[in-house]
Amino acid sequence: MQLRDRDLISIQEARELAAQALIAQQKFARFSQEKVDAIVEAVAKAAAAQAETLARAAVEETGYGNVPDKILKNRVGAIDVPNAIRGMRTVGIVNEDKGKKILEVAVPVGVICAIIPVTNPTSTAIYKTLIALKARNAIVLSPHPGAVRCICQTAKLLARAAAAAGAPEGIVTCMERNTLAGTQELMRASEVGLILATGGTGLVRAAYSSGKPAYGVGPGNVPAFIEHTANVHKAIADIFAGKTFDYGTLCSSEQAIVMEEAVRDAALDECRKQGGYFLNEDEARLVGELIFPGGSHAPSAKVVGRPATHVAELAGIKVPPETRVLIARLSEVGRNVPLSGEKLCPVLGFYSVPNLAAGIDLCTQLLRFGGMGHTASIHSQNDAAIREYGLAIPAFRVCVNTASTQGSVGYSTNLFPAMTLGCGALGGNITSDNIGPQHLMNLRRVAWESRAVEHRTIAAADRMNAPAAAKTDAGSTGTKGGTVKPANSTPQSQPSSTTGIPDRAAIAHAVEHVMAHLGIARGAAASGVSASPAAVAAKPTAPPTNVSPFVTEGDVRRAVTRGEKIFIGPKTILTPSARDVAGAENVIVMTDYVPPARGASLSE
């Protein structure tokens, strides 16, 4: 029967691609480092050659961002990422600590389910594919419904390049009939070893709830702080460059300018000179209602990745055609001030504070409102102020004197180039890192002995002398923990007056009491020795006088060491551990002799 339901078709596709990817990955996992690196280089070269074509495809399909900036993002994935991972070992022994005698061996996680967003579709697909292949994983791309064509186009390009370089068929695939049900099926597929989730909060939470290891990212609400020693002209230029890059589609783009009052006027002047339009109170309200209609928490798709002039037009506001950024003067942070949140378009909040401490406090409020753990920036010439800000701010990427957008992804800083930026525990993520191949493989550790292990056997006499509360001869009573307590208090069950330790007759009495309670007939323990005839010598012709009423493992081992025999009778108590040891030694001699009754002297 032919499937017609879109969800069922998507689910079936997810299952087939996951199964295909696993077969490919199992072959790929056996490739050498040289072969893996050659495949990664071939894929990167193909992506770089088509950076502009893929950028145009992304803008045409989604309507978000602009072609020049999307070309740059594609080149970050296709050029900067390979440059960063070139020489990284991901096969075999990747690290050896000779001092600690530990080897670390790379183990791929298997099949990766990669969720690709609509805001950065082709660049994210390139980046995730390269880091997955570098760690010897297969990857199945799950595209946002609004960017299926350009993401699948990217995946096919990368897959062809990988196959031409010798990669197994199916090592890179993309869902072409994707629905939410299909994405969820892919995330839950048994073949999938890890999820790389880039997208909305709901999707990231679904990835975390799938039962699979997942790297997700949280939202950004990046504050850009201008300290009074900053080069204000460059600071504003950097902030505008970050905010207008691809029209604010990256979650690490600046969302608010926070400056010390000492440079407030200079900052206002620079904003106007560099293409900033300050909204009045009514205009700010209109823009806020446009971006967050009905008080929604997420920006409207109408404004995401659109130029400032387009946003103003949609809000019914007339601005100069050279306007690059819309700016709203704000004094508070929270739901009652919509423009204090993440906007994903060229709109900025504008705050002033009296000093550094107040700036740190306000920037922290902005991050708590919607960007905990993500990114923040500071513009300053004061090293002490920069360090104080970096130590206090609850963000895991603090960009200094650069645009936070380009700095966070490693373009204008030496951070690892990445399109997936972890927000750590503060943002509900498992890591605070920029995700790379090192996160997509496990390490097997081979460790040599560094401290000798003591080999010892506790003698029976030592165990007998152990405190009563801790004394449990292996299997002697069938009990766990605790001690054996006689049924009544008789002279034989009392400790020795000189040592405080029960004598052998008392112990035998206690054990017999427990065995009787368990329904084990008297003499049963001794009779069990007949199962190991090799361990029992022939009965002596004359009754011995040294028949043991109670025999432990230690007694047997001591007899073996000394070359002695242990005589037992029908009523002798023989512990299971003693019987096991005696099974390999000829030390136990069975007799018909009955030991003296309890209370009588063994010499009688």
Q: Is 391 exposed, middle or buried (0-12, 13-18, 19+ CB in 10 A)?
A: exposed
CA distance linking residue 254 with residue 258, whole number of Å: 11
Q: How many CB atoms lie within 10 A of CB 577?
A: 16
Listed residue (463, 461, 478, 563) closest to 514, CA to CA: 478
Give the H/E segment covering residue 258. strand 254-260
Beta bridge partners of residue 352, listed in sequence order: 259
Question: Could you give phi then psi for residue 132, rounded to 5 degrees?
Answer: -70, -45
CA distance linking residue 374 with residue 364, whole number of Å: 11
DSSP track, 417-455: P-S-B--TGGGT-S--SBP-GGGGEEEEEEE---SPPP-
Listed residue (227, 203, 322) closest to 272, CA to CA: 322
Say which DSSP state 489 is in.
-
Distances in whole angstroms, Cα of residue 389 to Cα of each of 109, 299, 402: 37, 29, 15
CA distance linking residue 584 with residue 408, whole number of Å: 70
State the Cα torsion 12-18-19-21 to the nearest 10°. 140
Say which DSSP state 494 is in.
S
Distances in whole angstroms, Cα of residue 55 to Cα of each of 67, 245, 371: 6, 14, 28
CA distance linking residue 306 with residue 117, whole number of Å: 16
Give the H/E segment covering residue 184. helix 180-188
Question: Could you give phi then psi for residue 185, rounded to 5 degrees?
Answer: -65, -40
Q: How many CA atoms lie within 13 A of 151 on its CB side?
A: 29
- Could you tell me if residue 377 is left (phi over 0), alpha (psi between -120 and 50 degrees) or otherwise beta? beta
Q: How many CB atoms lie within 10 A of CB 598?
A: 15
The residues annotated with a catalytic role in the active site are 251
Lookup: tokens for 158: 């990368």
